[in-house]
Structure 1
Amino acid sequence: MAEPEQRRNFYGRVHGKTLRASQKDYLANDLEALRLKQVTQEENPTRTVLHPAAIFASPRPIWLEVGFGGGEHLVHMAARYPDIGLIGCEPFVNGIAMLLGKIRQAGVQNLTIHPGDVRDLFDVLPDACLDKAFLNYPDPWPKARHHRRRFVTPGYLLELARVLKPGAEFRVATDIPDYVRQTLEEVPPAGFTLVAQTGKGDAWEDWLPTRYEQKALREGRAPHYLTFRRI
């Protein structure tokens, strides 16, 4: 008899402001075609595994953005690197709708969406299947009692390390100094080494400032950019 599936707590927002008519159109007509759904059975019939190599028309490196917000960085990277396949993961419906609008406008075809909790995606990804990962301006969960909800905790990081290939790059951008502190404390023990830590004006060469970064700068908070390598 199979054991009952453990229910996860999810603390982030799923819905925000009322969607515009155009955003409802994107969700109704574009999301299904871009949603991750190529799932094949593994030898163990009780578990399914998603093979990223089957998502795109030709074999290519696969990158993951965890929590893509409004999608500007994800679409920028898809347009800049047409030979790369990108997976965007985001549970916030308003953000998904914003991304879909940007995809329709840009016409990029090398990305796919998981509209949900990244842990559900980790459940079906095989080991060492991703070449790069991005965590841009994640929810800071500023209260001390909520720090365990941050992405940079073992429950997320160990699974991220499992699905990243050896040598894969993990980028983190945040404007919260305490998030930097926790990132530096928690990421290396999960299987990473710190490659670079930079600040305002010294981001990655292919970086696109997001609306969250622009808001942080307007409010006087400096960005931090951290680059890790999967050991």
Structure 2
Amino acid sequence: MNDTSPAGGAAPLDVAIAHKDHHRADGRPLRALEDLRLALPFGQAGAVVGPSGCGKTTLLRLIAGLDREYTGHIHLPAHGRLGMVFQEPRLLPWRSVADNIRIAAPEATEEEIAALLAQLSLAEHATHFPGELSLGLARRVSLARALAAKPDLLLLDEPLVSLDAALARDLRDRIATLIDEKRITTLIVTHDLSEAIALADRIFLLSPRPAHVVETLDIATPRSKLTQDVAQTLEAQARAALAAARQ
């Protein structure tokens, strides 16, 4: 059995997965997650980091309610309104940038949409169609679409994957600024420790499959004041914990 529900108020994201199984082609179960627990305080940003194939995206899909076949509970913050940015932008190709946002957030005003487009430097692309956009621009539109819904919980699945270093750094900085400004509870899935350290207040390190949290790192230094020395220390600590989990 499972329970996915909003917790109400300024409650944390609370996840406790006893087990989650996939099924092989021959019907045998494949355990993806087991005894996985994480809690993220209201208004904070968390990052989930673990080895490739350990179940990071599976976890995000469970939290988003896209997969309800698991045993455990997931309590969402506030009213449980979700915004999600997938690895692929998933924009409607026959709709303009502005219309993609309007469709996802019908309650958003034109002023709110215009403000989001301006924040993400998309105003000049409002009437463009997805096929006219680079991957970096499409990712920004996907982020604007998720934010327009005024989510209680923002889920980001590998938001910087496949971008070159300069574009990834630019989008990472924009995400960090929006997290600080909007104070939305945010959970980011990434394979990149430096990305996690730059964006998160709390990092959840996962074991190989079946995944569970092997260590939780709290980052006390505000994002805007994070020095290279502090980031390197945190990365070394995280790498050590991940290496130990593989043994």
TM-score (norm 2): 0.30
Report which structure shows greater RCO (CA 8 Å, sep ≥6).
2
TM-score (norm 1): 0.31
